[in-house]
Amino acid sequence: MADDEPVDEEAVAAEWEAMAGGGDEEDVDQDAMAAEWESMAGGDKAEDEDDDATPGRVLDQDEIDNLLGFDGDADQGEMTGVHALINSALVSYERLPMMDIIFDRLVRMMSTSLRNFTSDNIEVSLDNITSVRFGDYLNSIPLPAMLAVFRAEEWDNYGLMTIDSSLIYSIVDVLLGGRRGTAAMRIEGRPYTTIEQTLVERMISVIMKDMCGAFEPLSPVNFTFDRLETNPRFATIARPPNAAVLIKLRVDMEDRGGRFEILFPYATLEPIRELLLQRFMGEKFGRDTIWETHLATELWRAKVDLSAIMDETTMSLKDVMNFEPGQTILFNKTPTEEVVLKCGDVSMLSGAIGRAGQHVAVQVKRTAERLNTDDMEAGA
């Protein structure tokens, strides 16, 4: 046993060393497991972040307003969210480029005519031209206001003009001799008087006369005053969902002034839609006088093939298949009857057949017009 003890000690030492080595592997395994757990923990965080970004989470009020198109920070003229989808069917006024030219001319004409009308220094400016739905526009009109319904005689439809209260009181104050440098007094909560309505009607007549002049180079039209309303519901000239073009203008008289708006339903502008699509005055779509002249000149020089038709008859396919050399085909024409000259399937001339030298000739007796007239009379 004494001799075996050293052997046992060595075996025990080897066993302990092996156990120690196994401990290192366990440490390595534990380190790997720790790293794996850390990566799993990081993956959970990433998954949590992805979960926060998913649409299934609860939206806050700002995001809901932005989705529905009620974002207060957005521009007034820009639609977002559901409103943009609903109004995407509207035709943009930018597809009618002549509208800008027409109303730029109107602004210049109104600046002169309103100065003569009020004997005051007046500046008229064009704010913007937009497309709106008629019902939405009526609901957005700030009251009190005057709404003038006018008729376009040649287009057989109506338009709407809105004058806000600031411009109404400013015009009345200027026409009745109010002192310059003082803002027009505005009295809320009372209806417009007869004097105020009469003065505004006179201003509307001046504006409509200038509108006739602005549209005249494109399409002559006569705008006539129909009625004056103060309730938007009584100024309905189109269905609420119908599209319309809204033109916003501003009138400034030193420290006084206001806004007025002109609205044309697309149904009113439909008779001149092709003209409004022009990019500049006088543009013609699909027509060019130079090309027309060149085409007419070349047509006169064109060569055509004429076929002299002696006669035509109808036969069965069996008889045609049984034709033999030397067989005679009988027609209903006599040597003295006229033959028809055709260009394709169109009858052009008719005349008597004969001979000129070594050539067969046709003496023209009737043209296509007389030929067709005689055929119609014979058919009758």
49: pLDDT confidence band, cut at 50, 70 and 90?
Answer: very low
Please state, in angstroms and rounded to a whole number, the distance separating the CA atoms of residues 260 and 270.
24
Query: Does the pLDDT of residue 285 top 60, yes or no?
Result: no
4: pLDDT confidence band, cut at 50, 70 and 90?
Answer: very low
Considering the domain architecture, whether residues 269 and 351 belong to the same structural domain is answered as no
Considering the domain architecture, whether residues 267 and 359 belong to the same structural domain is answered as no
Section 290-317 average pLDDT: 84
The conformation of residue 41, written as its DSSP 8-state character, comes to H
149: pLDDT confidence band, cut at 50, 70 and 90?
Answer: very high
**What's the CATH number where 250 sits?**
3.40.1550.10
The conformation of residue 184, written as its DSSP 8-state character, comes to P
- Most confident option among 48-57, 291-300, 360-369: 291-300
Nearest to 232 by CA among 135, 131, 87: 135
Nearest to 140 by CA among 240, 229, 250, 73: 240
Query: Does the pLDDT of residue 70 top 80, yes or no?
Result: no
pLDDT in tens, 130-146: 888 888 888 888 878 88
Q: In whole angstroms, how large is the CA radius of gyration of the chain? A: 45
Query: Does the pLDDT of residue 24 top 60, yes or no?
Result: no
**What's the CATH number where 370 sits?**
2.30.330.10
Considering the domain architecture, whether residues 245 and 318 belong to the same structural domain is answered as no
Owning domain of residue 319: 303-379
| Cβ–Cβ under 8 Å, residues 357 and 347 | no
Query: Does the pLDDT of residue 3 top 50, yes or no?
Result: no
Considering the domain architecture, whether residues 239 and 103 belong to the same structural domain is answered as yes
